[in-house]
Structure 1
């Protein structure tokens, strides 16, 4: 690649551009699968909701957004039949968010879409280069997870 072009992008943009391409690919796949009411913002819920469910506060923290904003997304997904709320057996005041069958289908379509675009990128970059990129990104994630919590993060 032309060295003058590679110097023009900061690392944040180099990470953001493929992330946005992947998000667009996922959104298009969901639309084609009939999930027209799912928006890119909802991906923040699906990204962080584990199969066993999670509290709204934990989802908000993982997505680095306010509890109120996460609650709004969850309410919309609940109205669409993608998630449901259950009382937390350890704390009756809290609620655990769980996938419904419809939500699990969204998750399946999204994961399939991710695998498709990763396969295309691996083919275009070369499988060894793509594997190396994946390894380096995991190393960066591990380093960031080792950092002590910073205020406001």
Structure 2
């Protein structure tokens, strides 16, 4: 990330073993663009589907995520809202 210009690092003046990592202006601009993209995608989903469809999608996605996690035995044990 540092080579990409997204973060800067410097030694902590209080503890030379530690590094202080900070986002650059480039990273903050990228974050804004990504946030805008995600917001636009969310709005598009909400225009296309009603709250019941989105709730069903959330349940399916949660199940799929759990099924493919390190502990697939937990799949289907989520609370059904």
Aligned mate of 1:134, from 46, 58, 65: 58
Q: CA RMSD in A?
A: 3.3
Q: Could you tell me how far 1:116 is from its partner in structure 2?
A: 1.1
Paired residue for 1:83?
A: 7
Q: What is the TM-score of this pair, normalised by structure 1?
A: 0.34
Bigger strand share: 2
Please list the CA deviations of residues 39-94 of structure 1 after superposition, one character each: whole Å capped at 9, or x if unmatched: xxxxxxxxxxxxxxxxxxxxxxxxxxxxxxxxxx641x21xxx32224489883x8
Give me the whole-angstrom Cα distance separating, in 1, the residues matched to 2:46 and 2:40.
10
SS in 1 for 2:8: strand
* Structure with greater Cα Rg: 2
Q: What is the TM-score of this pair, normalised by structure 2?
A: 0.55
SS in 2 for 1:145: coil
Q: How many residues align?
A: 71
Give me the whole-angstrom Cα distance separating, in 2, the residues matched to 1:128 and 1:146.
29
Q: Could you tell me how far 1:110 is from its partner in structure 2?
A: 0.8
Structure 2 runs not aligned, ≥5 long:
73-81
Give me the whole-angstrom Cα distance separating, in 2, the residues matched to 1:135 and 1:111.
24
Structure with the bigger RCO (C-alpha within 8 Å, sep 6+) is 1
Structure 1 runs not aligned, ≥5 long:
1-72, 149-153
